[in-house]
Amino acid sequence: MKIFDTHAHYDDDRFDEDREELLIKLKKNGVQHFVNVASSVESIDSTLKLVTEHPESYAALGIHPSDIKGINEKIMEYIKEKILSFDRCVAVGEIGLDYYWGEEAERADQKKWFIRQLELAREVKLPVIIHSRDAAEDTFNIMKDNHAEEIGGVVHCFSYSKEMAKEYVKMGFFIGIGGVVTFKNAKKVVEVVKEIPLESIVLETDCPYLTPSPYRGERNSSVYLPYVAEKIAEIKGISADEVYDVTYKNALKLYRLKEDA
């Protein structure tokens, strides 16, 4: 069993007490690799520090839509410099739109910096990790208008319809599936998993958030990914081993890594 967690936040302070102990435990539980995803300027430095110390991990650098306050071109150049100088940076992210937390007045700024970070990904020739919450139409339109199919990446923590998922798959994007698929009220996500090819799905935690059942509400980690894989297997009527195998290869393809990474 080989697992690749395509989206984690192990630099989060909820891991401060036992981070090293937990990261050692991952390998024993089949987790070969994880991508630590930055979401703010501060987390860029903490992500790089963590990934430098853990050779099984990779970095994604970008600014989350809820953290765009104070962003300017100088920060964009700073991110670009960090990406180009760090050989284990595999994506620009997480970037996108979040209308759940953002106020109406902030939406124009969110769109501006989403588009700018898509440009950044094109400049550095890396895929993107898309965060989209309560912003289905605007996210999709921006990606279409800016030819995101030429950039590639993953729509992380997918929460929209199966029809929308199919559109992203047509664009060549992967769909990130995590603990939400195990929730009792996760009808949309279950439909998405059922309708799209396994070859378009990657496993993710978004830890410390979105812990799968039966541990919902506790701190999440990559150790719980078997619950996600087993649920996907159940939905698709296949073995968990097939889910592990295909999603692992998908993650390598998503982040343009070699098989023996």
Check which CATH number belongs to the domain holding 65 and give it.
Answer: 3.20.20.140
**Range 99-111 average pLDDT:** 85
Q: What is the pLDDT of residue 260?
A: 59
For the chain, how many structural domains are there in total? 1
pLDDT above 60 (res 261): no
Q: What whole-number percentage of the chain has pLDDT above 90?
A: 95
pLDDT above 60 (res 154): yes
Per the domain annotation, does 259 fall within a domain? no
**Range 125-135 average pLDDT:** 97
Which residue, among 66, 129, 68, 71, has the nearest Cα to 99 in the 3D structure? 66
Which residue, among 198, 147, 208, has the nearest Cα to 177 in the 3D structure? 198
Per the domain annotation, does 55 fall within a domain? yes
Model confidence at 104, pLDDT cuts 50, 70, 90, reads confident
Q: What is the pLDDT of residue 105?
A: 75
**Range 196-210 average pLDDT:** 98
The C-alpha atoms of residue 184 and residue 202 are separated, in whole angstroms, by 21
Model confidence at 193, pLDDT cuts 50, 70, 90, reads very high
H or E element in which residue 166 lies: helix 162-170
Which structural domain, as residue segments, surrounds residue 171? Answer: 3-254
Residues in the chain: 261
Which residues have a Cβ under 8 Å from the Cβ of 177 and sit 6 or more positions away? 158, 189, 192, 193, 201, 202, 203, 204, 228, 232
Per the domain annotation, does 260 fall within a domain? no
Average pLDDT, the chain: 96
**Range 68-92 average pLDDT:** 97
